[in-house]
Amino acid sequence: MPDFIIIGAAKSGTTSLAQYLGQHSEVCISKLKEARYLAYPEGPPDYRGYGPRGDEIMRIYRETMPRSMAEYEALFDQALPSQLTGEASPAYLYLEGTAARISELYPDTKVIAILRNPVERAYSSYLHMRREDAEDVSFREALNLEPSRIAEGAGLPYHYASMGFYARQLAPYFEAFDSSRIAVFFYEDFASRTAEVLAAICRFLDIDDSAAFDSSERRNVSGIPVNRSAFNAFNRLKGSLLPKSFKRILPGSLRSGLNKAASKRLLRKPSIGEEEANRLCELYRKEKQELADLLGVNPPWRID
């Protein structure tokens, strides 16, 4: 195990996909959604964070990671013999050497990637860190600071632009695995035709593709809190004060409706600045063609 791994990309629906697949009777998702263990053979990294909570979040990132193969495989010990096991760690797509390591340890595993317009992905990642109170500069300044931040050990969530070069990140997987064991989807399709993409993933995994999924609840939504205190209070209520048994009996559509209503009031999503969008489009223009050449299909996003 695992039988399949969702390798990324970050901010491209991997959390939602893992949650949806976990509803399938033939699937058992890792107890820890982002195990990340296979990306760090030397142990958890001592990443640096920024903003009021950046270092705290990087500490949590480090402390929640399995420290041994035994701890990693224990994340799947609740699986039934008839179930496929899987996990989702976007770090696997980005970090060099991970594809070869996974292939060596689990040569029969299947690899799933979901890719998003890299301009939108970078900005969504920035908004996510603003939401977490782990970023305190503008998006423009964050892009300017990115090279120096990476040089001083910034955590992966701060690699806003760097994580969007999908062709070079996917290439090692096509070298390490037979193409029949790799499935690449686009976030734009996943968001607009969720049931269709889930059925295709089920067929790729050789499990029942007629299974019904409750895909009404979106996870890990980005945005900047309108009021930090109110946002933190809502998260405490949602995360710890409501009994888990009560959460389980709430229909996904109701949970989704409550989350959407709260997000609309508590989070704002300013549009990306024109200068920053143009800068990233120029950065990724060649990348889009390289990705199309690698996959044999044109990505659905415009880079212009």
Cβ–Cβ < 8 Å for 160, 146: yes
* Average of per-residue pLDDT across 152-161: 98
pLDDT at 206: 98
Is residue 108 situated within a structural domain? yes
Higher-pLDDT residue of 246, 19 = 19
- Are 240 and 127 found together in one domain? no
* Average of per-residue pLDDT across 83-89: 98
Residue 262 above 60 pLDDT? Answer: no
- Are 168 and 241 found together in one domain? no
- Are 281 and 256 found together in one domain? no
- Cα dist. 127→18, 153, 238 in Å? 22, 20, 20
Q: Given CA atoms 37, 112, 210, 197 in this order, what sign does their dihedral have? A: positive
* Average of per-residue pLDDT across 57-67: 94
Is residue 301 situated within a structural domain? no
pLDDT at 240: 58
- Are 70 and 30 found together in one domain? yes
Is residue 205 situated within a structural domain? yes
Q: pLDDT tens digit string along 157-208?
A: 999 999 999 999 999 999 999 999 999 999 999 999 999 999 999 999 999 9
- Which 3 state secondary structure label does DSSP give 252? helix
- Are 115 and 14 found together in one domain? yes
Q: pLDDT tens digit string along 230-240?
A: 555 555 555 55
Higher-pLDDT residue of 41, 93 = 93
- Are 244 and 282 found together in one domain? no
Residue 250 above 70 pLDDT? Answer: no
- Which 3 state secondary structure label does DSSP give 149? helix
Cβ–Cβ < 8 Å for 129, 56: no
pLDDT at 88: 98
- Are 115 and 192 found together in one domain? yes
Is residue 125 situated within a structural domain? yes
Is residue 300 situated within a structural domain? no
Range with lowest mean pLDDT among 42-46, 58-62, 88-92, 145-149: 42-46
pLDDT at 265: 62
- Are 168 and 284 found together in one domain? yes
Is residue 28 situated within a structural domain? yes
Domain that holds residue 120: 4-219+274-295
Q: pLDDT tens digit string along 267-292?
A: 778 899 999 999 999 999 999 999 99
- Are 37 and 152 found together in one domain? yes
Q: pLDDT tens digit string along 121-130?
A: 999 999 999 9
Confidence grade of residue 266 (pLDDT, cut at 50, 70, 90): confident
Q: Structure tokens of 174?
A: 């096509």
Angle subtended at Cα 91 by Cα 88 and Cα 93, rounded to the nearest 5 degrees:
90
Strands 267-268 and 224-225: antiparallel
Confidence grade of residue 242 (pLDDT, cut at 50, 70, 90): low
The pLDDT > 70 percentage for the chain reads 84
At 107, which CATH number? 3.40.50.300
Number of domains in the chain: 2
Is residue 203 situated within a structural domain? yes
What are the backbone dihedrals phi and psi of residue 283, each rounded to the nearest 5 degrees, phi first? Answer: -65, -35
* Average of per-residue pLDDT across 97-114: 98
* Average of per-residue pLDDT across 11-24: 96
- Are 119 and 11 found together in one domain? yes
pTM of the model: 0.88
- Cα dist. 94→43, 79, 189, 234 in Å? 17, 28, 22, 32
pLDDT at 267: 76
Is residue 304 situated within a structural domain? no
Cβ–Cβ < 8 Å for 235, 266: no
- Are 127 and 204 found together in one domain? yes
User: How does the average pLDDT of the chain come out, rounded?
Assistant: 90
In the chain the beta strands, taken as DSSP E runs, fall at 4-8, 27-29, 84-88, 110-115, 182-186, 224-225, 267-268
- Are 120 and 181 found together in one domain? yes
Nearest to 116 by CA among 271, 18, 12, 222: 12
